[in-house]
Amino acid sequence: MKLKTINGKEYIFDVVRKKYVLNQPEEWVRQHIIKYLNEKKNYPISLMSVEKQININQTIKRYDLVCYNTDGKPLFLVECKAPNIKLNIETFDQSFNYQNEVKAKYIMVTNGATHFCFEIKNEKPIFLKEIPHYTTK
């Protein structure tokens, strides 16, 4: 990870947005997941999107990370939490609310230490034992 300090604050380089962003706990998790998905699971950086706005029940929200397939369709929605945040029903509800708008094939919720990954089949989440490798479909 590329880090730098500006005016006493630490910044981390976001390879998706191609800029330094304030290194907060959730951002640290997001950058590590991006690196993991790219290096270990072959998700292309060029097909990732970070913190884009979506409309949920007439409220503007931002998802953490979406990976797309080569057709530009959402493949993988990732919700990142800071390491000190326990993953609970509210976290999953937030992710599934985002999923209703994004319509990705897979969803992952992570706090950097604990990860839950699901495949969406017939609009129902199926728990996966491991994070899927990138596929163009």
What is the radius of gyration, based on Cα positions, of the chain? Answer: 15
Phi-psi category of residue 14: left, alpha or beta, with phi > 0 → left and psi -120 to 50 → alpha: beta
Give pTM, 2 decimals.
0.92
Task: Report the candidate in 38, 56, 58 with the shortest Cα–Cα distance to residue 47.
Answer: 38
pLDDT in tens, 2-22: 999 999 999 999 999 999 999
Quick one: pLDDT band at residue 23, thresholds 50, 70, 90?
very high
What is the Cα–Cα distance from 71 to 81, expressed in whole angstroms? 29
Extents of the domains making up the chain: 24-128
Instruction: Find all residues with CB under 8 Å of 29, minimum gap 6, and list them.
Output: 80, 81, 82, 83, 110, 111, 112
Hey, what CATH topology would domain 24-128 get? tt1808, chain A (3.90.1570)
Whole-angstrom Cα distance, residue 69 to residue 137? 6
